[in-house]
Amino acid sequence: GGFHLLVGQQASLRYRTMTPLPKRRALLALSAAVAMSPASSLRHSRWASGATRFHELQSYSFRDFLADFGRAYEEGSEEFTLRERLFNQHHQEMVDFESGPTRSWRMGINHFMDYTEPEKRWLLGYTGARTRRAIAVDLESSSHRAPLPSQFFAATPNTHLMNIVRDQGSCGSCWAQAATSTLEGQVEATPGIVDALAKLHNASNTSGIPKIPTLSSQTMVSCVSNPRHCGGRGGCEGATVELAYDPSLVFAE
């Protein structure tokens, strides 16, 4: 497997503390990025918008997969046989996983179900900078230490943006996908932002503002400048999350 779709069991799982943005600043930052549909992201769909029901997963067939993902293999050909075998193998892995112990994440159907291992590895190519200088960080121990629990689990219910499973395809834009997901997490961590954008959507009577205010990773890929070739040459050839944040910070000032 390795390329199965991961879907948050409770819509969003957070293992870090987010510092909410001030409401006005967050709205200003979002005005530059919201309402864009990124071509490089797998958006809301039957399999990406929530956890796949187990009985639906069990009954999902190779022919369902061909129809859902537009495959046109010639029945009876060697390729059809190969792809069907790969699908069945991955499908069984998912069924076995979903019928096992409860975990904090789910498996679901996606377009990698009929990929060979070399085809998967081809998607993992890295074209950015191969070396980076270490950054020294001074750590200061606190005299006010609180006891830490042996386990910590935090789930944010009723969230929407963290359910988005992004697919950068053959574009080397992991930096943009990561930055967009982080900013969307900040949006939902900031009280009132999603509600305010939903009101704008309802008042606009147009499709210009989506009901669920997703951010555009494609905007970052297309517009973020990378003159010093940090992490790559920019766009689909690589950049850094820090560069991706710059336009949002400008609009938030």
- Domain assignment present for residue 132? The answer is no
H/E stretch holding 182: helix 174-189
Q: Which domain holds residue 75?
A: 5-127+155-252
231 backbone φψ class: left, alpha, beta (φ>0; ψ -120 to 50): left
Inter-axis angle of helices 241-252 and 174-189, to 10 degrees? 40
Q: Computed over its alpha carbons, how large is the radius of gyration of the chain?
A: 21
Indicate whether 138 belongs to any domain.
no
- Model confidence band, residue 129 (pLDDT cutoffs 50, 70, 90): low
Residue 91 lies in a domain: yes
Q: How far apart, in whole angstroms, are the C-alpha atoms of residue 251 and residue 33?
A: 10
Is 147 inside a domain boundary?
no
Give the pTM.
Answer: 0.56
Residue 141 within a domain: no
Domain count, the chain: 1
Least confident of 47-61, 67-81, 134-148: 134-148
In a domain, 202, yes or no: yes
- Cα end-to-end distance, the chain, whole Å: 44
| Position 20 confidence tier, pLDDT thresholds 50, 70, 90 | very low
154-200 pLDDT, tens digit each: 666 667 777 677 778 778 899 999 999 888 888 887 778 777 877 87
Contact, 181 vs 166, CB < 8 A? Answer: yes
pLDDT of 4: 40
**Model confidence band, residue 147 (pLDDT cutoffs 50, 70, 90):** confident
Residue 17 has pLDDT above 70, yes or no: no
